[in-house]
Amino acid sequence: MRRVKIDKIVLSDRNAIEGSTLSVNEKELCAHLLEDRHLKSVSLEVAHPGESVRIIPIKDILEPRARLDEKQDSFIGVISDANYQAGVGTSVALDGVCVITSGSMVNFQEGLVDMSGPGAEFCLFSKKANLVLVMEPAEGITKPEHERAVRYAGIKAARYLGAIGRNASNYTERVYPVYTTEERLEKFPKLPKVVYVCQAIAEGLLHDNYIYGVNAQGCLPLLCGPTELMDGAVVSGNCAAPCHKHTTYHHQNNPIIEDLLDEDGRTLNLMGVIVAPVKTAFAEKERIGRQVFKITQMLGAEGAIISEDGGGNPEADLMFVDRLFEKAGIKTVLITDEYAGSDGASPGLADVTPEADAVVTNGNGNQRVTLPPMQKVIGVLDSVERITGGHAGGLHEDGSVDMEIAGIMGSTNELGIENLRTIAI
């Protein structure tokens, strides 16, 4: 993984990286995105840390990445053929840059990012140089067509920007070994074998993720190497609650995977990452849960981490798999967040099980916050009253907002990538 550090974006008539400044050819990128007939217009905005800027509504956030080999594409299988393996070779990332997709709302479960003020404290994206794609859909298209158009636009833009980093001279590199199962067992015979199960919502109605370009609604669990997710193997099309949804950025920069890789070969043997779709019907939850259990047993795992994606319904999947694991002697840690009421006194999870005796929570989405007005709004401000966490009357005449942190992108993210922490009391 080759990382090119960027702290400033300039809209320009050329593409270049000079020092830590990224120049983006505005006209060329917009023309590239408008090749999609489902989009009526695209404009680019830039937002930097500390600025008095609010971005709303946000559908997805991505880190620009490209393969160093120009014959290959990042985000394999999404807008290109899935004709080679993700997670091997060399990938280039623009570290410090995010592509944010915005414009007219697709669905009510979209969020906001404040670049300064109290809202910025809940959100890592406020510390990034953000290129915002403000997109309006073509007349007469459906919501699924609208979601697909903005999803593809975000991926195209992230890949376009990532390619600029191929020729950058200043970068840092980290090499992640890619082992076969046989090699792992030979190299680390005495270390405890661990798997990581990463939920990926696949509930339909714009609550979907895509695995190598395939809607996870049509997938059984997939066993991956940990570096595959870094390479865009999972892409978000998920318009679920902003606070705990996994954006594509979160999949690309999954901190659980990164921490496990830090320990891999030292204190544990990371046997693989299982991407587990989350569906709504209980029969599907059992089918998928038992497949996750089967794969874990076949790998001989002695320990597991399971991270939730979404809230409420996915907690049934979380607890079902936890019961299977713990009863089989596989020590399991669950990672989630809560909706425990504004005072934190209500039950935080929709399902529980006695076997779930090691649980990490990343915050309470019902926690309330008042966000001050910003000098500039990118997007559509009045959508704050319709997004998850907002409410009618929450937007005041001066532009300040009363809302729950559920509406802030990633505030209680269930991968633990954000700023809230758990304190035992």
Q: What is the pLDDT of residue 66?
A: 94
- What does the pLDDT look like over 116-144, one tens digit per residue? 999 999 999 999 999 999 999 999 999 99
Q: Which of 98, 123, 219, 239 is catalytic?
A: 239
Residue 12 scores a pLDDT above 70? yes
* CATH 3.40.50 domain residues, the chain: 181-364
- What does the pLDDT look like over 366-409, one tens digit per residue? 999 999 999 999 999 999 998 889 999 999 999 999 999 999 99
- CA proximity to 24, closest of 165, 172, 231: 165
- What does the pLDDT look like over 302-316, one tens digit per residue? 999 999 999 999 999
Q: Is the dihedral of CA 403, 406, 412, 417 positive or negative?
A: negative
- Is 239 part of the annotated catalytic residue set? yes
Per-residue pLDDT band at 424 (split at 50, 70, 90): low
What's the rounded Cα separation, in Å, for the pair 417 and 124?
Answer: 8
127: left (phi over 0), alpha (psi -120 to 50) or beta: alpha
Q: What is the pLDDT of residue 425?
A: 67
- CA proximity to 53, closest of 107, 6, 123: 123
- What does the pLDDT look like over 45-84, one tens digit per residue? 999 999 999 999 999 999 999 999 888 888 888 877 777 7
- What does the pLDDT look like over 229-288, one tens digit per residue? 999 999 999 887 899 999 999 999 999 999 999 999 999 999 999 999 999 999 999 999
The CATH number assigned to the domain with range 181-364 reads 3.40.50
- What does the pLDDT look like over 232-248, one tens digit per residue? 999 999 887 899 999 99
